[in-house]
Structure 1
């Protein structure tokens, strides 16, 4: 018989789709494919210790590179481990292709058999059941096409007995990129641009919020120009925080993570111009962030209603850059440039000098205030290092780090799941091997996949892991305390993460004073490999996000 094993043809098809890195945990259902792809014409394979971590690392890799992330798992229990990472990638609109084994078709009973499709589709990801031998390569192309066009994860399930069959392709493989239509930028309807210009002319206090669509379209400078013309301030969604950090009138993140100055200005504004931002519940802080403002949304695919809230009062359907540039032209035609009354030197000073959160808390002996810890990290960590911000109660604080490019700050927290930080750092390290990665995580999240420290050591990745260690699940202790309920189930002590790191063959130390950061950084720079800083922080400091949630819960019924 002539032909090639299907697993070899599938591996080659992935390579022709542009795959240069993939993340995997081997099992019966994927081991032949993985072994073929690993090293195939330079493809790099990161072997992790948990399937969830393969998918999460691929998500970070895709976000950091703009490519389709690729992961691989075996069938049955290998596939079921993906649920949280897949759901997160779906909500974050991350293009992934996961090669998954399926149980053998030609066995009457198999211990790990499960109907995998419903598990995957329940997360919002797409499932392709690859059961036709002649269509095997078509399945691969369809998976990458859907991932690229719909910006969401696709799981390709291939029974592992079929993978060993021989196949003689009838024609050479043509990758999905050859079928993606090139339509150019979406330009706005001129009538809607004029309506937007009317609203701008009537407004007194304007804030421009940029999201991922603005970053992708390269609309950053156009947004800054528009803001300067109409005396507007700038802000971003959390995923692109830092996009305007070089601008003195950037308020930082819009939403639950907004600083005190930002919240004050949002409360005053009467018009928000959303550029390439989907205006999620978090970005508008449940509708409370700018209660007195109308909203113009410039977006390729305006939704109208998002997570239970109306998105905007006027929609301009357009590519972010094309839409803003059209609005700039319309404003200029009306001689719409106005003198600065909001963009004052005093406001610029306040943005830089005033703390993002000024609330006072009791001191806790031997513990750092997490706000002070982040301020110290921001001072000593070079601005060209890559930051990965994890999820959980502690994630508010790193989001306030100014002077760090959106290109060098990764945050994926759309599903609200903790436990992803180490995996995201691995994905970022694979995406940018020439860079130093800094992960800022909480102890509860860090412990969930601590086994991946062995992956970091084995692959010789360069990661500085900074754990804000409050010895507890931060969100839960504050909620339980506010309810007057015993919090012992959410606390577990701080332990010694430095010694834990050493057990995995990494360096590690404990930090309890702001004075220690600079010295520790010099030690890290002088060493090789990765390191953990166990930063002991107070469990009495409650983020403003949590304070508002607790206050809302405790408010008396009207």
Structure 2
């Protein structure tokens, strides 16, 4: 007789599950065993939250729902930070969580898992009867796919072990979802075209949805006709940079001084696959006089300006851009396409300040410039959170795939696991992550996971032996920065002890030799790059010192 946990496993397989990240416990071990028997690859992490973050990275790299699993109670609570991060990132995940026996409120590992899910912004589906167990899986995958968010499937242990008496045929959620491209209405396209035609200074703003749609050629044609600038969100930084001299880069706090000079003059912003959140618009201050045309498949939302956009085109980028280009003529104004703008943008990323020289410590700006030159552009980049991430976010300029974890909950420590999941999702593809020392040490044990599975991740630790953000913020607020300084062990040696490669780096020559070794033979590697605390990032100089840089 088939058991419910086997029927649940059959449903997950029918939904396309091939890889699972997490930890086994007594409340999910039957299901995980059944999944393994059905050919699914199981990745055992050292921490449940880490496993979920790996599933997050896997989902971002494959475009499919990531799958994670944990046991009941404390296994579930360990997921909290990673679930909120995934929710804020809009990552589709399905998390199989074991649960104590149905109604056993006195069990040691009892937790109201529905309340927990609500608190961490995750969907929740309860397997509360044997007959409807597969229906719960179908509903969870449907929510994850259509709402692009994490969903917990909570399965009580006694229900899992019951006999399965449900329907013989399972209908996967993919058969319930209409995937036909959405086209904006002709009236909306006409309205958008009129706004654009009436504008002289157009910014074409690219988000992750634009890049995922592979709409680069249409975007470049739109920019050419409008005589506009290209700007990006953090998630699409450097995309199409090499295709136009009118590339302004990141829109927001991380933008260059040139971008901050040019973008406020815009009278029209065409946002493609970008949410226009407050990071991108600087709460509206970056585009004070612009009208907004937004192209997206999501429901329209209030933007970071605090207002709805002037024209919303709900639809896939390709169809919306085709409609616009069919009726949009070429601007008779020179717009942003002037010699002065071109010259201003040509050296917008140039550092015109001397690097800081400190014995045995490197300037983080010099480190990033060296990495950008030495690491091939086909190696993806993941950036973390905290002060150190500012340097990588602003100074990498080669076009490469990027995952930015900034602003998705402000949680440090997530980026290395996202990187591991990304690498696994791409068939063990070499992948680069820039992280801080406090962040990396938080989940140091997961480097063992990378080594066990052979994920060829290159972890660059910008190590200032401090909680960098708090160190600089404390100084700005007249507090004691030294309280945020924490000595760090040799993380390169720790990486070697865990089964990978590693080195402590104190000179650019050492850095370049280590990077060359990795590129020649990618393997799990940690480079503990010791950096000075004397360099404050441009975003922090703007926020803490009100510098115009």
Match of residue 295 from structure 2: 298
Q: Quick check: 1:392–1:474 contact (8 Å CA) kept in 2?
A: yes
Structure-2 separation of matches of 1:17 and 1:386: 28
Match of residue 213 from structure 1: 209
Instruction: Compute the displacement of 1:64 (Å).
Output: 0.8
Structure-2 separation of matches of 1:535 and 1:251: 30
Q: Quick check: 2:280–2:304 contact (8 Å CA) kept in 1?
A: no
Q: Quick check: 1:106–1:161 contact (8 Å CA) kept in 2?
A: no
Structure-1 separation of matches of 2:339 and 2:514: 37
Instruction: Compute the displacement of 1:25 (Å).
Output: 0.8
Indicate which of 232, 236, 247 corresponds to 1:236.
232
Match of residue 23 from structure 1: 21
Match of residue 402 from structure 1: 397
Moved over 6 A (4+): none
Q: Deviations over 1:276-331 (max 9, x none)?
A: 21101111122222223222222334534235722423333333222222222222
In the alignment, is residue 44 of structure 1 matched against residue 37 of structure 2? no
Match of residue 516 from structure 2: 522
For residues 264 and 351 of structure 1, do their structure 2 counterparts lie closer, same or farther at Cα, with a shift above 3 Å needed?
same
Match of residue 442 from structure 1: 436
Task: Mark the runs of 5 or more structure 2 residues left unpaired by the alignment.
Answer: none
For residues 523 and 300 of structure 1, do their structure 2 counterparts lie closer, same or farther at Cα, with a shift above 3 Å needed?
closer
Structure-1 separation of matches of 2:34 and 2:346: 53
Instruction: Compute the displacement of 1:108 (Å).
Output: 6.5
Instruction: Compute the displacement of 1:241 (Å).
Output: 2.1
Structure-2 separation of matches of 1:90 and 1:397: 26
Q: Deviations over 1:150-189 (max 9, x none)?
A: 111100000112211221433222211111124x332223
Q: Deviations over 1:21-53 (max 9, x none)?
A: 110111111111112212523x21111000111
Equivalent pairs, count: 545
Q: Deviations over 1:385-410 (max 9, x none)?
A: 122211222222222312223xx222
For residues 266 and 338 of structure 1, do their structure 2 counterparts lie closer, same or farther at Cα, with a shift above 3 Å needed?
same
Match of residue 137 from structure 1: 134
Structure-2 separation of matches of 1:286 and 1:301: 21
Match of residue 411 from structure 2: 417
Match of residue 460 from structure 1: 454
Match of residue 316 from structure 1: 313
Structure-2 separation of matches of 1:4 and 1:191: 55
Instruction: Compute the displacement of 1:347 (Å).
Output: 4.2
Q: Deviations over 1:502-530 (max 9, x none)?
A: 22122211222223333112222455631
Q: Quick check: 1:219–1:321 contact (8 Å CA) kept in 2?
A: yes
Two-structure CA RMSD over aligned residues (Å): 2.2
Match of residue 472 from structure 2: 478
For residues 488 and 518 of structure 1, do their structure 2 counterparts lie closer, same or farther at Cα, with a shift above 3 Å needed?
closer
Structure-2 separation of matches of 1:189 and 1:458: 52
TM-score, structure 2 normalization? 0.94
Q: Quick check: 2:204–2:270 contact (8 Å CA) kept in 1?
A: yes
Q: Higher mean Cα deviation, 312-321 or 427-436?
A: 312-321
Structure-2 separation of matches of 1:75 and 1:81: 10
Q: Higher mean Cα deviation, 154-163 or 389-398?
A: 389-398
Match of residue 32 from structure 1: 30
1:187-336 alignment, distance < 5 Å: 187-248=183-244, 249-301=246-298, 303-306=300-303, 309-332=306-329, 336=330
In the alignment, is residue 57 of structure 1 matched against residue 54 of structure 2? yes
In the alignment, is residue 156 of structure 1 matched against residue 153 of structure 2? yes
Instruction: Compute the displacement of 1:138 (Å).
Output: 0.6
- Name the SS for the 2:388 alignment partner: helix
Instruction: Compute the displacement of 1:345 (Å).
Output: 5.8
Instruction: Compute the displacement of 1:363 (Å).
Output: 4.1
Q: Quick check: 1:477–1:490 contact (8 Å CA) kept in 2?
A: yes
Q: Higher mean Cα deviation, 211-220 or 337-346?
A: 337-346
Structure-1 separation of matches of 2:59 and 2:230: 27
Match of residue 366 from structure 1: 360
TM-score, structure 1 normalization? 0.92
Indicate which of 394, 404, 426 corresponds to 2:420.
426
- Name the SS for the 2:529 alignment partner: strand
Q: Deviations over 1:396-448 (max 9, x none)?
A: 2222312223xx22223311211101211110111112421111111121111
Structure-2 separation of matches of 1:361 and 1:250: 26
For residues 404 and 366 of structure 1, do their structure 2 counterparts lie closer, same or farther at Cα, with a shift above 3 Å needed?
same
Q: Quick check: 2:416–2:440 contact (8 Å CA) kept in 1?
A: yes
- Name the SS for the 1:471 alignment partner: coil
Structure-2 separation of matches of 1:391 and 1:158: 34
Q: Quick check: 2:505–2:511 contact (8 Å CA) kept in 1?
A: yes
- Name the SS for the 1:290 alignment partner: coil
Task: Mark the runs of 5 or more structure 1 residues left unpaired by the alignment.
Answer: none
